Amino acid sequence: MFVCICQAVSDQDIRRAVAGGARSFEDVQTHTGCTTCCGCCEAEARELVQTTLESERRVVALPVAA
């Protein structure tokens, strides 16, 4: 699904940016160009970045079975 139509940034592009090391909305914005045109998608993009970062933190925090 496209989050930012102006820059053709999908939800997967945002998730890949986080998986690739982006640690903030601004990092994702720099990497993808998301919200740099009209800005209509900013709220949705910020929420997706936040939930993706939180999901990644939960995965990292899971205990490893011995």
Q: In which region does residue 25 sit, left (phi positive, over 0), alpha (psi from -120 to 50) or beta (all else)? A: alpha
- Bigger pLDDT: 65 or 22? 22
- Model confidence pLDDT, tens digit, residues 10-30: 999 999 999 999 999 999 999
Q: Which CATH homologous superfamily contains domain 2-61?
A: BFD-like [2Fe-2S]-binding domain (1.10.10.1100)
Alpha-carbon torsion (57, 29, 42, 13), positive or negative: negative
Average pLDDT, the chain: 92
Distance separating alpha carbons of residues 20 and 2, to the nearest angstrom: 19
pLDDT at 23: 96
> How many percent of the chain have pLDDT more than 90?
83
If residue 58 lies in a helix (H) or strand (E), which one and from where to where? Answer: helix 42-61
From residue 26, give the alpha-carbon distance in Å to each of 23, 49, 59: 8, 10, 22
Q: Is the pLDDT of residue 54 over 90?
A: yes
